[in-house]
Chains A and B, each alone.
Chain A
Amino acid sequence: MTTAEKLAGETRDAGEPNILLRLWRNKDTRSVILQILTVALLFAFLAYIVNNAILNLAALGKTFSFDFLDLPASYDINQTLISYTSQSTHFRAMLVGLLNTALVAFFGVITATILGFLLGIIRLSDNWIASRIVYCFIEIVRNVPVLLHILFIHGIIVHVLPSPKKALDLGDSIFLSNRGLTIPDPVFGDGFSYTVIAFFVAIGAVIYFRLWAKKVRESTGKIYPVFLISTGILIGLPLLVFVVTGSPLSWLVPELGRFNLKGGITMIPEFLALWLALSLYTSAFIAEIVRAGINAINKGQWEASQAVGMKRNRVLQLVIIPQALRIIIPPLTSQYLNLTKNSSLAIAIGYMDIVATIGGITMMQTGKEMETMILVMAIYLSFSLLISAFMNWYNKRMKLVER
């Protein structure tokens, strides 16, 4: 049909006797009809599978309900950020698992980002051997399934580190063994709150100082060692208050029990392994993203900056990376999502995340496959949406800088 014919056809529509056909020919009504059809089909499909599920469950004599969440879980969890005993409910166990997932994802994202940027920059450095080695590292890491990384790193941690009796210790207070990294329990004395207040004051001061330094730089060109001074304030002020108030903090050093170190706060090797493995794996991808982002910046930017007399580090920091970030952030978001999702493999080494708790032991114990899976998927979905929302917000902020 040529365009002319088509146009003719459309003008003929008015005279068409069949009203349905006429509605179909009209672009707007057609799109409405199409959408109504889509929705109807979707609902029909959903109704069909829900109906099937009801029939199947009835045939097995099972029910669909979330009542099991109120029953006692009856199992123990090796890392609990909130109080939990085997008498707590399945719901509580789910919360513990959720927090464990969030914890490893949070730390993983931070270290993966730092490591990824570092590797990406070394990859572009002039040092031939460093750049080659990082290249090999990236290729090895990202071409091997993440499950194997987790198993390998856990194996290395567990095998290389000594048993608790021979734990490596730092100043008799921090212990590292294959049972984890144990630090003393802090005991807060009276007046420690002043130090906390001082810390927040320091944060405020740093923010103010950075804004001020930026203003000075933009108006006069004078550059302060912002990083050094900020760190100084951030550490110095609370430390000063801490000493002045008479060091109101003592440490309860863990001591060796029959099997393990007693007391102290322990970071279990499963967490360490998962954290490290996810960070390494994701950092390899981030490094490539960073490299691509930096490479995408016009070479002229480098040359112009160098012509103004800036050093390589400052060029990267002030000119290249801010521009590259705009290219980097969207794929970076995907990597954060991947990291969070990959943390679901924790069960392989015994880190009790959401899949291991409610999607694992609870599921097996109660036989509620459908309910537990729905919960697990809903939780991951909310994590993903949260990360996406945050990164979108950040991305928008970066875009404003573009002017």
Chain B
Amino acid sequence: MSPSETTSVPGDGGYLPGTHPDLKPPSNVHGPVHWVKVNLFGSLTNTVLTLLVAYLLYTIIPQLADWMFFNAAFEGESRKACRAVAPDGACWAFIGNRLPLFIYGFYPEPERWRVDLSFLLLILALVPVLYDNMPHRGKALVYSCLYPLIAAFFLVGGIGLERVSTDQFGGLMLNVIIGVTGIAFSLPIGIVLALGRQSQLPIVRILCIGFIEFIRGVPLITLFFVAAVMLSYFVPPGTSFDLLVRILIMGTLFASGYMAEVIRGGLQAIPRGQYEAADAMGLTYWKSMRLIILPQAMKISIPGVVNTFIGLYKDTTLVIVIGRLDILGIGNSSLADTKWQGLSTEVYVFVAIFFFVSCFAMSRYSLWLEKKLHTGH
């Protein structure tokens, strides 16, 4: 059939080329029924899996929802009051009662705006780090680098602001401080360690490997113990330095061990040609690193950096073992109040939800970044 013939016979129910309306696919390959058939009951294993999952959801979800919402008490002044209202539900009144403590710890009430401000400034400091195509990013990054000092000033005080002792830091604020400090300072240290690990100088290399392997080989709680009970032996007699600073140093060293490995991964992913090209240009080692290699390696490493941060952030709850009251510790010490004793499950669930929400958001971000980087190559 020639093309001219088809166009010339529009009358017998035919269509002009390109004018035929899309036909619906046969009903057995689309629609919800088909979707369910293929995706849920496609094979025997699939069917079993689906049924198993459905059963699990059916047994767990309603109970959980009852405990958490429908049978829970949201108001009350003691555990007994809660139990009177809600004998088999959660007692969220406790969390509500202590919420400021959970967030600010023992930070003096009239000064708490400083913590809020620091949180706010932190968000502002994160913007240039997270969005690489914002205008004036370079200048904004300077602010981000200065942020730890600014925050330290606001939180600790001095020059016009009332001094707040670091012992009064607690709750969520403590988790964020340890996490953010750890990541901010471990990044440069991690870069140095990663470069040192690949260095041509054998002794530097051995030292860096030794340090990284040591940090990665011992649990964080032992490092916190060192901060609490051993570091004070290592400073000259008669001097001491703040426990929080010691914890921060240990948290930073811990994170930098992991950071070094993340960045090493980034460095190794850079094609050899880049190194050779930099050498061919006659750049010195530091120049080639600063101008060619590191910018590329850092870009690849960002998802890993975010993951390291999530790991460190979750681990900050371990300061409880040395008596520092973070969000979990505040919960525990509040439970020593005889009015509220026996509500540890509520505390754990609250803290778990809190960590889940913040860490999940961060891991989503890291995933998004990973995808973005993926398409870039």
Contacts and interface: CB of A to CB of B under 8 A. Distances in A.
A53 B233 contact: yes
9 contacts: A35-B203, A38-B204, A56-B232, A128-B39, A139-B356, A143-B360, A347-B321, A381-B218, A388-B213
Interface stretch (A119-127, A183-191, A206-214): A119-127
B301 to A, nearest CB: 14
Interface in A353-388: 355, 359, 369-370, 373, 376-377, 380-381, 383-385, 388
A381 B214 CA distance: 7
Contact of A140 (B49, B282, B317, B356): B356
Interface stretch (A170-178, A228-236, A337-345, A392-400): A337-345
Contacts of A39: 203
A44 interface: no
Nearest to A379: B218
Contacts of B45: 127
Interface in B349-377: 351-352, 355-356, 359-360, 363
Interface string A93-133: 00000000000000000000000000000100111111001
B236 interface: yes
Contacts of A122: 49
A3 B283 CA distance: 8
Given A35-B203, A39-B203, A130-B50, A385 B42 contact: no
B38 interface: yes
A143 B348 contact: no
Given A55-B237, A143-B363, A380 B217 contact: yes
Interface stretch (B64-72, B110-118, B223-231): B223-231
B310 interface: yes
B230 A369 contact: yes
B75 interface: no
A31 interface: yes
Interface residues of A, number: 55
A57 B321 CA distance: 24
A355 B200 CA distance: 39
Interface in A1-49: 3, 6, 31, 34-35, 38-39, 42, 49
B53 interface: yes
Nearest to B364: A139
Nearest to B359: A143
Contact of A143 (B50, B203, B328, B356): B356
Interface string A308-352: 000000000000000000000000001001000110110100000
Contacts of B207: 38, 42
A52 B363 contact: no
A376 B226 CA distance: 11
Given A42-B207, A52-B233, A128-B39, A31 B222 contact: no
Interface residues of B, number: 57
A61 interface: no
A152 B225 CA distance: 24
A59 interface: yes
Given A31-B200, A130-B46, A145-B315, A377 B222 contact: yes
Given A55-B237, A144-B356, A384 B213 contact: yes
A146 interface: yes
Interface of A: 3, 6, 31, 34-35, 38-39, 42, 49, 52-53, 55-57, 59, 122, 125-130, 133, 139-140, 142-148, 151-152, 155, 334, 337, 341-342, 344-345, 347, 355, 359, 369-370, 373, 376-377, 380-381, 383-385, 388
B87 interface: no
| Max chain A C-beta neighbours (<10 A), residue from B42, B310, B356, B363 | B356
A384 B216 contact: yes
Given A35-B202, A127-B50, A152-B348, A139 B363 contact: yes
B233 A56 contact: yes
B35 to A, nearest CB: 8
B126 interface: no
Contact of A127 (B46, B318, B348): B46
A337 B314 contact: no
Interface string B284-300: 00000000000000000
| Max chain B C-beta neighbours (<10 A), residue from A39, A57, A341 | A341
Given A55-B237, A130-B46, A334-B261, 13 more contacts: A38-B204, A49-B234, A52-B236, A129-B54, A140-B356, A144-B314, A147-B318, A344-B219, A345-B318, A355-B222, A370-B230, A381-B218, A383-B217
A138 to B, nearest CB: 10
B236 A143 contact: no
Contacts, number: 151
Given A143-B360, A345-B221, A127 B42 contact: yes
A144 B355 contact: yes
Given A126-B38, A127-B49, A337 B200 contact: no
A369 B351 CA distance: 31
A342 B217 CA distance: 11
Interface in B330-362: 344-345, 348, 351-352, 355-356, 359-360
Contacts of B225: 359, 369, 373
B220 interface: yes
Contact of B42 (A126, A133, A342, A370): A126
A6 B282 CA distance: 10
The 5 closest A-B pairs by CB, nearest first: A384-B217, A128-B39, A143-B359, A3-B282, A341-B219
Contacts of A369: 225, 229-230
Nearest to A42: B207
Contacts of A147: 317-318, 328
Nearest to B361: A143
Given A35-B203, A373-B225, A337 B53 contact: no
A380 B236 contact: no
Contacts of B56: 133
A56 B237 contact: yes
A122 B230 CA distance: 47
B159 interface: no
